[in-house]
């Protein structure tokens, strides 16, 4: 079951504001930053529809950046992005949380450090991309788990979203979403089993 809601007003989505002062009509134009969409679920691994939609958008000509913060694999990381449909750039951490069991991570300080560093590297790349305006859609898969694990700072994410130059949508997914970020969203979709 999908439950979705969206805010009617958002200061970042105003195109034109008519100001009527006496007999004059002043028009003030605001920049369009696209929407912030949040997909939340009570369990991990519930977002294949978002990945499917990103492939479809790329095939339709939109430039899409998909970043999976907690997934990893062979020859992944910022230097080894996967390109699909000519327009989709898919990135995962070079050393990720999902490659190991949690007990192994907790018992190995070096492994924990590598996972932390590779996730931060991915986040720093993502911040640059959000500032560049090159993408029509940016998907930050499981970014809230990275915040919960204290790898990415919540305030850093909020600041980056407030100062982004992307004209398209930013999609964030996760299970435990901070209230501050829920309040920023133009659309919140809750996935239920």
DSSP, residue by residue, 65-132:
EEEEEEEE-TT-SGGG-EEETTTEEEEEESS-GGGS-HHHHHH-HHHHHHHHHHHHHHHHHHHHHHHH
* pLDDT (tens place) for every residue of the chain, 193 residues total: 344 444 333 344 333 344 444 555 554 444 556 899 998 887 666 667 888 888 899 999 999 999 988 877 667 888 888 888 889 999 988 877 777 777 887 888 888 888 889 899 999 999 999 988 889 999 999 899 889 888 999 999 999 999 887 678 999 998 888 888 999 999 998 877 6
Q: What is the pLDDT of residue 8?
A: 35
How does DSSP classify residue 176? S
Q: Give the span between the Cα atoms of 145 and 154, in whole angstroms.
A: 11
C-alpha neighbours within 13 Å on the C-beta side of residue 30: 12
Q: What pLDDT score was predicted for residue 132?
A: 87
126-187-169 Cα angle (round to 5): 35
CA distance 148 to 143: 9
Q: Are 190 and 158 in contact (CB under 8 A)?
A: no
pLDDT given at position 23: 54
Q: Any idea what the Cα angle at residue 102 is, between residues 118 and 174, rounded to 5°?
A: 65
Class of domain 2-191: alpha beta
Longest dimension (CA), the chain: 72
Paired residues of 19 in beta bridges: 26
Q: What is the pLDDT of residue 125?
A: 95
CA separation for the pair 170, 41 (Å, rounded): 17
Residue ranges of domains in the chain: 2-191
């Amino acid at each position: 079951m999908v439950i979705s809601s969206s805010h009617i007003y958002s200061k970042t989505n105003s195109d034109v504001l008519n100001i009527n002062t006496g007999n004059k009509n002043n028009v003030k134009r605001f920049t369009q930053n696209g929407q912030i969409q949040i997909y939340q679920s009570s369990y991990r691994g519930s977002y294949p529809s978002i990945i499917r939609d990103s492939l479809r958008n790329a095939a339709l000509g939109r430039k899409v950046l998909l970043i999976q913060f907690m997934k990893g694999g062979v020859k992944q990381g910022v230097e080894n992005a996967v390109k699909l449909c000519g327009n989709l750039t898919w990135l995962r951490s070079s050393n990720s949380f999902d490659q190991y069991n949690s007990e192994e991570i907790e018992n190995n300080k070096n492994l924990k450090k590598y996972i932390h560093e590779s996730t931060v590297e991915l986040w720093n790349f993502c911040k640059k991309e959000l500032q560049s305006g090159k993408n029509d859609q940016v998907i930050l898969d499981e970014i809230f788990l990275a915040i919960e694990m204290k790898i990415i700072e919540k305030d850093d994410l909020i600041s980056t979203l407030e100062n982004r130059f992307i004209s398209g949508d930013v999609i964030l997914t996760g299970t435990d979403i901070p209230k501050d970020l829920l309040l920023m969203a133009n659309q919140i979709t809750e996935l239920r089993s």
